[in-house]
Amino acid sequence: MEYHIYHMFPKLLNLYGDHGNIITLSFFAKKLGLRPIVHEIDDVSQIDWNKIDFMLIGGGSDREQALVTSQLALIKDKLKEEIENGLPVLAVCGGYQFLGNYYQDSNGEKLEGLQILDFYTIAQNKERMLGNTIVETDQFDEVIGFVNHAGETFHELMPLGVVSYGYGNNLTSKNEGVVYKNLIGTYLHGPLLPRNPKITLFFLELFMKKNNYEYNLDCLDLSMEENARLEHIARITNK
């Protein structure tokens, strides 16, 4: 069975190895007997909404985000409809910020967001949120990643989790990311999926259940990934 992975603007939005999320998802999809097909989208006219099974929107610099905004604006209504209908989406850093109402840069200028979710981001010059981060979650245990952002995101939506080490959405809250239906927005680069195999399986199981695809997770040996995650947590916390 084909599994169509859409990587949005990989030449512009690919900070800190966000492409690794695509590699990891493809790797485990093959292990489960699926045939992953990766679509690298440089123009939104290339999207076949009837085939899309997963979407990654990665992070980029302010300049690159500005370049991509005009393209994403062309599909904001359709993308919102698909997200409301359960499209699995991983949005990282700039990709996460895109989903909100607006991004206000350090000069006070507002860049309109896609307004898919009710939040906003404001760039500040007080303290750059930078470094390894650990997030306590109910669904995925301790999630690890690397953050580097000056924008503070504010919302009342369900977060991915609560930060136990490092930085989250902003300097005043311990919340990190957002979870809305089958969408995960986060500031965690790293990339996220190879470091946190439970999130990878979450996205794959969404596809397999939707398509009544018979699968057995016992065929996956995640011990190496899990040991690496725990080792990384131990190094960060010096335990």
pLDDT tens for 106-156 read 888 888 999 999 999 999 877 899 999 999 999 999 999 999 999 999 999
Q: Nearest 5°: phi and psi at 58? A: -85, -165
**How buried is 97 (Cβ within 10 angstroms: 0-12 exposed, 13-18 middle, 19+ buried)?**
buried
Q: Does 19 participate in catalysis according to the annotation? A: no
Percentage of residues of the chain with pLDDT beyond 70: 100
86/69: higher pLDDT: 86
Per-residue pLDDT, 220: 85
* Catalytic residue selected from 7, 19, 149, 189: 189
- Residue 74: left if φ>0, alpha if ψ -120 to 50, beta else—which one? alpha
Q: Does 219 participate in catalysis according to the annotation? A: no
Per-residue pLDDT, 70: 86
Tokens of 219: 């065929």
Is the per-residue pLDDT at 61 higher than 80? no
* Catalytic residue selected from 19, 93, 149, 155: 93
By the 8 A CB rule, do 41 and 11 touch? no
**Range among 54-63, 151-160, 223-232 rated most confident:** 151-160
Q: How far is it, in rounded angstroms, from Cα 119 to Cα 100? A: 5
Alpha helices by DSSP H, 19-173: 20-31, 62-73, 76-84, 94-98
Instruction: Convert the pLDDT of each residue in 78-94 to its tens digit.
Output: 999 999 999 999 999 99
Q: How far is it, in rounded angstroms, from Cα 204 to Cα 193? A: 11
Amino acid at 175: N
Q: How many CB atoms lie under 10 A from the CB of residue 209?
A: 10
